[in-house]
Chain A
Amino acid sequence: MAIKPKKKATRRPKILSRDGVLKAVLDNGLTVVLKENHNAPVATFWCWYRVGSRHERSGITGISHWVEHMLFKGTKTYPKATVDQVVSREGGVWNGMTWLDFTTYFETLPAAKIDLALQIEADRMVNALFVPKEVESERTVIISERQGGENYPQFLLGEVLHATAFLVHGYHHETIGHLCDLQSMTRDDLHSHYQTYYAPNNCVAVGVGAFEAKDMLARIDKAFGRIKPGPALPKIASVEPEQKGERRVTVEGEEMTSYIDVAYRAPDARHPDFIALVVLDAILAGLSFGGGSTNASSRLYRALVDTELTTDVSGGLVPTHDPFLYIIGATVRQGRTPAEVEAALDAELQKIIDQPPAQAEVDKAIKQAKAQFAYGSESVTNQGYWYGFSEMFADTTWFEQYLDRLAQVTLDDVHRVAKEYLAKSRRTVGYYVPKKQG
């Protein structure tokens, strides 16, 4: 794809909504989401692409993540690995991320410098070079990234757990990809993936910070408006079939500590039950979203950690485009076994399956979410993350209406989703245990 001269300088982006947030679509299909925030003289700019492990098939697992790395390895304008230096020298921070449904890039800069981010992102949307030598150099970096993960039992267990929970869907493999694929993928595989998915019509640009939204939109249009839209994107046909019965996996390692993960099939983020599951998760294991909070007053902490079966417990609920998992994980305390933990977990879960929670527990979840929301709003980078992330599985209204929808969740809703989604027949139980001697 090449940058073509703009036909008309007077072209105006179509503004879709304007409710504290300006949302527009450029002629080439680029969605733009902007929010002014003048609390500090900083701004963040993100480009979100709808491509992640969801879009990968066997043989090219990990390709989206590798492409992300290659976008730091050079264009004509920013050759080799200079783009990071260009941002740093302006006092900025930057990163790239790839996950289940998306690949994203951001720069957060002193507000007066934010145009630099627009230039960089518009350039690498279409001009990344994929120089063969750089592809090879990055191959070993990514293999090293994978091997760093392999040093941790939680990674090894998670990989097998996902692969067991999903037979068909792209969510079955890790975003980093399988080692054999990382060893065998070619420069052309990567470049073709890039050409397929990197186009304005598959991208959401997000800006939050100390700028004027309309002015910023004009600057984004100037930077991105000339990039031609790409062809229609490949349809993802894989649909995970219904799970019929519990699945169990065990991974053995040299480590002395055991771990347990129990993964329940969860709905996608747009499903009406998802928000009730957010409350259920908060009651069971503390609110997943936001992070940084303790969960010592949650039901599962009391049932597993307080009783000295585990040293921690966590609940993981991720908003995703397609149905994913709700994963309860714990580190088994010295001298205890995963089976003991599983029995206690089942007994505790049975209580909320048998009986609705108390109103106070739901109120607590809502208050926690309200506080997390306020903490998250301090940082423009964090807001940029949520505006963009929500576009990857729903749209920005998902994020904006999150607290209101949470407040409408009833005791019956929580009880109903507990009964439905915590069924043993739709879960995968994973143990990580020390290798048997002899």
Chain B
Amino acid sequence: MTKDEGQSRIAHYAPRIMHHVSRITHQSASIPGPETIERREYPNGMVVLVKENFSNPTVVIDGTLRFGSADVKREQAGLASFMTDVLMRGTQRRTFQQIYEEIESVGATADVSAGLNASSFGSKSLAEDLSRAIDILADVLQHPAFPEAEVEKVRGEILTDLQERADDTRRMAGLTFRELLYPDAHPYANSGTGYTETIAALTRDDLERFYRERTGPQGMIVVIVGAVKTDEAFRIWEDTFGNWTVANNHRAALPDAPRVSNARRKSVDVPGKTQSDLILGFVGPPRSAPDYFPAALCNTILGVFGLNGRVGAKVRVQGGMAYYAYTSLEGGLGPGAWSVIAGVHPSKVDRAVELIRAEIKRICESKVPAKELADNKAYITGSLPLRLETNDGVAAQISNMELYGLGLDYLQKYTDMVNAITAQQVQAAAQRYLDPDAYALAIAGPTSK
């Protein structure tokens, strides 16, 4: 999966509550920060961050590698994810079955999976099995064998999945949307999973070459969270990854992704279905954009808060038109999409689009009222403790801090940063990225128009 920042977090209290006796210690004490996270950089280019948590007996590893489907040309679309799927299929020491027998026999999970700009790997296990999990990850990342028979098995699985995709309205809307939104030459226009013809044409050598050129410790981020002593975690990781010194290639810069300048609409016929899926959207800000925070708050207002924000209120709650209608802001290392997603009856598509465009127009033209702004801030700041409840949640946050250079005190500053956002900034972000008359609209359903 792509390492994208989702919504976010902490506590602006607008107490409308009764009588509570709070026994909670001051919240910043429980929020991970420089006092509780240890970070080390290594000569081979990897950065390792460890946060102890002995409240439960598990350990999570959340790793990031600096390659993704954005590094692949259209004619090889699917290469990155095909390669990562095969990584787990055999090493110089272990067969596919041995890898999974070792992992599953202790109830652990381990995986490597390609994303758009960055790819991820990781594991989850009981603390007593951490060494085993790391040993497997080291083996699959450093010594993959790309067994010919496994390449063919995976190829067949991907081709079957692509066959299913062609019959899936949600996935076809997503595929069509990206093709409409980004220029042909932009890698974001391509499918990360690939296409029948590209998957059929990729060879074992293609996979191995992509692995050799792109997979290495340079820029690798590893976050270890759970019931393991910090020194012990570093020691195990250094023992298994410290001598990994291959040089992974530097990446080409992404081409420009200009704003959409007109209303583009494309329908894909998926026969035999009862419902259409639509995605209407824009090129959004990368995580590093100065106006990312106001844009993220704007997204929460538009299609997240409560039962999916303003869009949900109009399309679902008042319109009774859809079971789901919400928005999504990808953020991430590049200019990801900012989109509205809804599933409606084919006869209601035009009406739903009208309502969605009206909400986009409203958020561009009028400042968000003070109460609504305060409610949305309270939601994204107040829900931070919920996101930090599990080791996975904490690891994902620490990984984001490192990947986007946010600083180890990011979560501790988070509430103040969110609360400082003004209605003007939200409106400016809306005006910069959204436009009720210039968008990409993809529809996948039973009848094409």
Most buried by B among A108, A295, A374: A374
Binds A, one of B65-73, B137-145, B361-369, B383-391: B383-391
**In the complex, A296→B89 CA distance in Å?**
10
Which chain B residues have a beta carbon within 8 Å of chain A's beta carbons?
A: 10-11, 14, 16-25, 27, 30, 55-58, 96-97, 100-101, 103-109, 111, 124-126, 153, 156-157, 159-161, 163-164, 166-170, 271-275, 305-307, 313, 316-324, 343-345, 375, 378-379, 381-386, 388-392
Q: A293 contacts B109, CB within 8 Å?
A: yes
Interface residue stretch chosen among A49-57, A192-200, A248-256, A389-397? A248-256
Contacts of A87 in B (CB 8 A): 306
Question: Given known contacts A294-B103, A311-B157, is B375 in contact with A93 (CB within 8 Å)?
Answer: no
Contact partners of B18 in chain A: CB under 8 A: 115-116, 119
| Contact partner, A148, options B14, B57, B272, B343, Cβ 8 Å | B343
For A85, the chain B residues whose CB sits under 8 A away are: 305-307, 375
| Contact A333-B160, Cβ < 8 Å, known A39-B56, A119-B18, A151-B273 | yes
A384 at the binding interface (Cβ < 8 Å): no
Minimum CB distance partner of A138 in chain B: B320
- Nearest 8 Cβ contacts at the A-B interface: A91-B382, A371-B107, A254-B272, A145-B323, A137-B320, A296-B100, A368-B107, A39-B55
Residues of the B chain whose Cβ atoms lie less than 8 Å from the Cβ of A212: 23
Contact between B105 and A110 (Cβ–Cβ < 8 Å)? no
Tally chain A residues at the interface, Cβ within 8 Å: 83
Chain B residues closer than 8 Å to A109, beta-carbon distance: 386
Given A90-B382, A140-B321, A331-B273 contact (CB < 8 Å): no
Q: Does A426 count as interface, using CB distance less than 8 angstroms?
A: no
Question: Do B58 and A254 have beta carbons less than 8 Å apart?
Answer: no
- Most B CB contacts (10 A, CB to CB) among A109, A255, A256 go to A255
Q: Is the CB of A368 within 8 A of B104?
A: yes
Q: A91-B381, A148-B275, A378-B58 are in contact. Are A302 and B97 (CB under 8 A)?
A: yes
> Could you tell me the distance in whole angstroms from the C-beta of A189 to the nearest C-beta in chain B?
18
What residues on B are CB-neighbors of A72 within 8 Å? Answer: 307
Most buried by B among A81, A139, A253: A81
Minimal beta-carbon separation of A341 from chain B (angstroms): 13
Q: A72-B307, A92-B383, A331-B160 are in contact. List 7 more A-B contacts (CB 8 A).
A: A41-B24, A42-B385, A81-B306, A137-B320, A257-B167, A311-B160, A331-B164
> What are 17 A-B residue pairs whose CB atoms fall within 8 Å in the complex?
A81-B313, A89-B14, A91-B386, A92-B386, A112-B22, A119-B18, A142-B323, A144-B343, A210-B24, A254-B273, A257-B163, A294-B100, A296-B104, A297-B104, A305-B157, A334-B160, A334-B163
A242 to B163, CA, bound (A): 39
Q: Which residues of A contact B271 (CB under 8 A)?
A: 254
The smallest C-beta distance from B364 to any residue of chain A, in angstroms, reads 23
**A111 sits at the interface (CB 8 A):** yes
Residue in B closest to A89 when the chains form the complex, CB atoms: B375
Docked CA distance A293–B316 (Å): 34
CA distance A80 to B317 in the complex (A): 9
B305 touches A88 (CB 8 A): yes
Residues of A within 8 A of B273 (CB): 150-151, 254
Q: Tell me if A151 and B160 are in contact (CB < 8 A).
A: no
A293-B107, A294-B104, A374-B56 known; A91 vs B307 contact (CB < 8 Å):
no
Chain B: CB-nearest residue to A360: B105
Contact B17 A113 (CB under 8 A): yes
Contacts A42-B385, A371-B126 given; indicate if A91 touches B379 (C-beta within 8 A).
yes
For B124, the chain A residues whose CB sits under 8 A away are 375
Q: Are A215 and B21 in contact (CB under 8 A)?
A: yes
A263-277 residues at the B interface, CB under 8 angstroms: none
Chain A proximity of B7: nearest CB distance (Å): 11
Q: B347 → chain A, closest Cβ, in Å? A: 11
CB distance from A161 to the nearest CB of B (A): 19
A419 in contact (CB, < 8 A): no
Closest to B384 in A: A91
For B103, the chain A residues whose CB sits under 8 A away are 294, 297
The answer, yes or no, to whether A400 is at the interface (CB within 8 Å) is no
- Asked if A294 contacts B274 (CB within 8 A), the reply is no
- The residue in B156, B324, B343, B389 that gathers the most chain A C-beta atoms within 10 A of its C-beta is B389
In the complex, the chain A residue whose C-beta lies closest to that of B170 is: A151
Q: Report the Cα distance A89→B373, complex, angstroms.
A: 10
Interface centre among A42, A89, A112 (most CB of B within 10 A): A89
A152 to B273, CA, bound (A): 8
Tell me if A159 counts as interface (CB < 8 A to partner B). Answer: no
B388 / chain A contacts, CB cutoff of 8 Å: 40
A293 proximity list for chain B (CB < 8 A): 104, 107, 109
- Cα A138 to Cα B323 with chains together (Å): 9
Residue A286 at the chain B interface, CB threshold 8 Å: yes
The interface residues of chain A lying within 8 Å CB-to-CB of B58 are: 371, 374-375, 378
User: B323 to A297, Cβ gap below 8 A?
Assistant: no
